[in-house]
Amino acid sequence: MLSIKNLHVSVDAKPILTGLSLDVPAGQVHAVMGPNGAGKSTLSYALAGRPGYDVTSGSATLDGVDLLGLDPSERAAKGVFLSFQYPIEIPGVPALTFLRTALNAQRRARDEAEISAPDFLRLVRVKAAALKMDFDMLKRALNVGFSGGEKKRMEILQMSVLAPKLAILDETDSGLDIDALRIVAEGVNAMRAPDRSMLVITHYQRLLDHIRPDRVHVLAAGRIVASGGPELALELEAAGYDRYASAA
């Protein structure tokens, strides 16, 4: 379970999150929605440990492990995965190499045996097929020259191979056409599991037509200002965020 308590985060000494509290129990999918500038991406970066996102107070734990004292790779090994809103291009490094290096780095950090090349390839083939990805694409440099949809699918593939305890999806629907959106959503749904918490961060409701959240939270001006069931997302879609922006 992810448990965030009274989190304050500043960027360039400017407070962005101002006392955010949120619990995502294992086995559940929670959506965080909010207007632009509310601090949605700051939340995902702060949880992943991006340098420059300074936690000034509060706590964040995953299954009781304090995340905030760890560097990004240590958090990854503890099970934190962030699907980036804008996945990064890595020239000259084939996606397969990148992914195997990452998986084995995590395994080493957890004192687990590294995965062998044949086992790894078998695993990736299955996962890629489920996401309707051309396996040859994985031999290309990671994300270089990929379309927006391909990049997002690659994020979901990485997530499914790395099998995290906490999956944070930051604006995964941006840049996706309706078919790609469905495939990505199916990939995410297939990853629902009793020991996994998922946090879906989105501006629009449309992703939630495909990934049905257990809870929906509204993030405005750095805090969670409202929480409810899936119906809250529909309400937001109809009424907009204005009400919350002024409330904050």
Partner 1 sequence: MAADQQTLEHVADLERYKHGFVSDIDQEFAPKGLSEATVRFVSAKKGEPEWMLDWRLEAYRRWIELEEPDWARVNFPAIDYQDSYYYAAPKEKAQLGSLDEVDPEILAVYAKLGIPLKEQEVLAGVKGAPRYAVDAVFDSVSVVTTFKKELAEVGVIFCSMSEAIRDHGDLVRQYLGTVVPVSDNYFACLNSAVFSDGSFVYVPPGVRCPMELSTYFRINAAESGQFERTLIIADKGAYVSYLEGCTAPMRDENQLHAAVVELVILDDAEIKYSTVQNWYPGDKDGKGGIYNFVTKRADCRGDRAKVSWTQVETGSAITWKYPSCVLRGEGSSGEFYSIAITNNRQQADTGTKMIHLGANTRSRIISKGISAGRSSNTYRGLVSAHPRAKGARNFTQCDSLLIGKHCAAHTTPYIEARNASAKFEHEATTTRLSDDQLFYAMQRGLSQEEAVQLLVNGFVKDVLQELPMEFAVEAQKLVAISLEGSVG
Interacting residue ranges for partner 1, rule: CB under 8 A: 48-51, 71-73, 75-77, 80-82, 84, 87-88, 90-94, 96-106, 109, 117, 141, 158, 162
Residues making up the chain, counted from first to last: 248
Q: How far is the CB of 164 from partner 1 (least distance, A)?
A: 10
Is 23 or 71 the residue whose CB approaches partner 1 more closely? 71
CA angle 190, 192, 196 (to 5 degrees): 140
Is 137 or 245 the residue whose CB approaches partner 1 more closely? 137
Residue whose structure tokens are 């997302």: 233
Neighbouring-strand partners of residue 167: 81, 198
Q: Which helix (H) or strand (E) holds 80?
A: strand 80-83
Q: How far is the CB of 45 from partner 1 (least distance, A)?
A: 9
- Residue 204 is classified by DSSP as S
Q: How far is the CB of 53 from partner 1 (least distance, A)?
A: 10
Residue whose structure tokens are 């937001």: 236
Is 43 or 48 the residue whose CB approaches partner 1 more closely? 48
Q: How far is the CB of 185 from partner 1 (least distance, A)?
A: 22
Half-sphere exposure at residue 38, Cβ-oriented, CA atoms within 13 angstroms? 25
Q: Smallest Cα–Cα separation from 212: which of 238, 236, 186?
A: 186
Is 143 or 205 the residue whose CB approaches partner 1 more closely? 143
Is 107 or 192 the residue whose CB approaches partner 1 more closely? 107
Q: How far is the CB of 188 from partner 1 (least distance, A)?
A: 18
Q: How far apart, in whole angstroms, are the C-alpha atoms of residue 55 and residue 135?
A: 40
- Report CA torsion sign: 22, 185, 173, 72: positive
Is 103 or 218 the residue whose CB approaches partner 1 more closely? 103
Judge whether 132 and 187 are in contact, CB under 8 Å.
no
Q: How far is the CB of 6 from partner 1 (least distance, A)?
A: 24
Is 115 or 226 the residue whose CB approaches partner 1 more closely? 115
Residue whose structure tokens are 């101002």: 18
Q: How far is the CB of 235 from partner 1 (least distance, A)?
A: 33
Residue whose structure tokens are 């509204």: 218
